[in-house]
Chains A and B, each alone.
Chain A
Amino acid sequence: MTPLLENLDYAATVVLLLIGLWTVLADSNLLKKLMGLNIMETAVFAFIVTSGMIEGGAAPILGPDAAPPFMAPIPHALVLTGIVVAVSTTALALALLLRVHREFGTLEIDELRKRW
């Protein structure tokens, strides 16, 4: 149990990731699938950001005299870029959903199968 408690933040991101994945796989509404995708993305961003926080870590340039806590800058830069990517994917996905709705009049998978 101890390793899990020590890494509670990582465990939380894994749970969030699985919730998102479940929504993508199991929900029958395309819009909710997209929301599941966003939850997954958020989970990964949370994981990368928390990995940049190490207790007792020293700052690389300021040296050991600087006052903690520190955050590693690279994970932040990665997540910022990741968010930009996620926003563009979501925008395109919403545009595609608009088209699907215009063509078929529904976003429910079961209905779409019938009207294909």
Chain B
Amino acid sequence: MTTHWLPALVAIPIAGGVLVPTMSRRWAPAWGFGVLIATLGVALFLTGLLREDTVSYAVGGWPPPYGIELRFDVLSTFAVPIALVAALAVPFATHSNEPVTTPEGVAVILVGTGGMMGFVVAADFFTLFVFLEVLSISAYGMVAMSEERGAGLAAFRYLLMGTVASIVILLSVGLLYTLTGSLNMADVGQRLPDGGLPLHLAIGGLAAGFLLKAAVFPLHVWLPDAHATAPSAVSAILSGLIVKMGIIGLLRTPGLEHLHELLIWVGAASLLAGALFALVQDDLKRMLAYSTVSNIGLVVLGLAVDRTGATVHILNHAIIKASLFLAAGAFIHRAGSRRIEGTGRSMPLTTSAFAVGGIAAIGIPPTGGFTGKWMIVLGALEAGRWGFAVMILLGAVILALCYARFVVVVAFRPSPADREGTSEAPLVMLVPIFVLAALSVGVGIIGGPFAAFVGK
């Protein structure tokens, strides 16, 4: 099946983003929100088509494997959370003091969204690389939007690590091309040689590059600074969406079964290390950033034992982590600084949404975080690796401590004496937080059918 709505999914946000800098400051956020909602509509329409068949589009009319192919398959359904989170981040940011909703800021968010859309629908490796760079460069720019001292340095370190990853990925794509004479993913998969050093270099290089982009321990060092210094609306995009692109890249890597043993150990290390680092953080956004490292570890482990479970979990975690970062942003906005003790007392709605997000991030049923985690635990047990199943549960216990601690800090500690009485977050902040928190529970309630749809 083919439809012109598939290239439109990529073209709408990028074209919309390029136009924003010509607009006035007043209209930029509204335009950005409108463009992203339109993109969300296209993504939902394409996901609906997926119930019958995958959608394929030959760019310029050149048929694959010779031309550039775009393909909307189960992994591409990630387009829906991408459009949703980006769309909700824009109105959220209009109320904060950070310069996110200036025309330039909105342009970066829109182009980054377009890059992510291109990344999830790319069906050949070079297109994948190009869109990876579009979304990565936007991500570096998003971190640099923060006016906090040191944000430029955090963005530069992110750029350095991200570009090393991109170079390794490009080298591996070149190796795959010399090995198979093709760039189309399906075609490369068929022509892949059985073994040999060049093949292992190519697959290993792709995996290393994508693991670095996904911030797996010990390649995570750039993430806490970048995610914690960025404006909160941007942290939601970075932590919810952009690190997941590394996982989608891994899921697209051919011959990944050669690396399952490595992935399961790296994933377990990241799962536990991320949770332990999260436990010792005093800053809420840093804790959330390390919790992302832990969840990415879970997903990488899951890639080796249950791919469907891993896919389900990245879809759910995108929504959950975005809701948590937005709630953290609301606390910080009302507190006026990073010292958020006691802000929750006067913000019961935000606090309850944060608690719901925390429960979902730990993976307690019936939330969305449970479905994928449960599938991965079952997959580990089925593969006879019960030690890893225990590690996943242990990681969840540590994360539960982290979230419980911050709920206590926010809701029960007295606020510092020098702060005036705070009030509930404004509606433009509350509505995005509640939409995401409701979804992170709702997707869990329909967890069975949802997993069946993803597994198809």
Mark A residues whose CB is within 8 Å of B.
Answer: 17, 21, 24, 30, 33-34, 37, 40-41, 44, 47-48, 51, 74-75, 78, 81-82, 85, 88-89, 92-93, 96-97, 99-100, 103-104, 112, 116
Contacts and interface: CB of A to CB of B under 8 A. Distances in A.
A3 B163 CA distance: 31
A116 B171 CA distance: 35
B150 A103 contact: yes
Interface stretch (B92-100, B136-144, B347-355): B136-144
A51 B164 contact: no
Contacts of B424: none
Nearest to A47: B174
Given A85-B133, A99-B144, A93 B170 contact: no
Nearest to B144: A96
Given A21-B164, A44-B167, 13 more contacts: A24-B160, A37-B167, A40-B167, A41-B167, A48-B170, A82-B170, A88-B137, A89-B137, A92-B137, A96-B140, A96-B153, A97-B152, A99-B152
DSSP majority for the B interface? helix
Interface in B171-187: 171, 173-174, 177-178, 183
Contacts, number: 77
B144 A78 contact: no
Contacts of B155: 96
Contacts of B130: 81, 85
A37 B156 contact: no
B153 A100 contact: yes
Contact of A89 (B150, B163, B171, B178): B163
16 contacts: A21-B164, A24-B160, A40-B167, A44-B170, A47-B171, A47-B174, A48-B170, A51-B178, A81-B130, A82-B170, A85-B166, A89-B159, A89-B166, A92-B140, A96-B156, A103-B152
Contacts of A116: 150
Given A44-B171, A48-B174, A85-B133, A37 B150 contact: no
